Amino acid sequence: RLDYGDRRRADRRLLTYDSLALTADLEVTGHPIVTLYVSSTATDGNFFAYLEDIAPDGRVAYVTEGELRASDRKLGDPGSSGLPALGFLPYHSFLSRDRAVLTPGAVASLVFDLLPTSYLFKRGHLIRLALAGADRDHFAWFGGDPPRLRFYHSADYPSRIDLPVIPHG
């Protein structure tokens, strides 16, 4: 596991969602899947999700991450591409024929997996999902003025993260 140090400061610039304190240890093993409902003032954009662990003392530790360019959001069938099917993961072809630009102001659904992990969140810790529209340290900006993004989380637009939890016990 990479150690990016305490991410509290970095997270001040991000949109974050925290769980309640865990009442028992929780093992997450596999690919977390993120579903985001978003709108933008631009026709494309990059969306980043970071899964993090918040210790009782407030320290924030990186667990894993994922990213999707909005125009590559179309979900498809990996079998049609000749690739082996991994039915538990959202499949994006990244082919130009499947590109779909955003309509500025309209809500779009983005579904993507985070890098696989095996991590034990300890009792008393919180789980954090941190969201961003850029990662200047690792990905080049593809031009234009930064867009205004809106993330939705309601009954109509149920943004969420699905964690592959390993039951114990």
| pLDDT of 85 over the 70 cut | no
Model pLDDT, residue 76:
80
The CA distance from 15 to 97, in Å, is 32
User: Averaged over 127-153, what is the pLDDT?
Assistant: 84
Other beta carbons less than 10 A from residue 86's beta carbon: 11
> What is the distance between the alpha carbons of residues 52 and 139, in angstroms, rounded to a whole number?
20
Amino acid at 98: D
pLDDT at 17 over 80: yes
- Give this prediction's pTM: 0.91
**Region 111-121 average pLDDT:** 96
- Cα radius of gyration rounded to whole Å, the chain: 17
User: What are the DSSP E strand ranges found in the chain?
Assistant: 15-18, 26-30, 33-40, 46-54, 60-69, 108-113, 117-121, 126-132, 149-152, 160-162, 165-166
Higher pLDDT, 133 or 76: 133
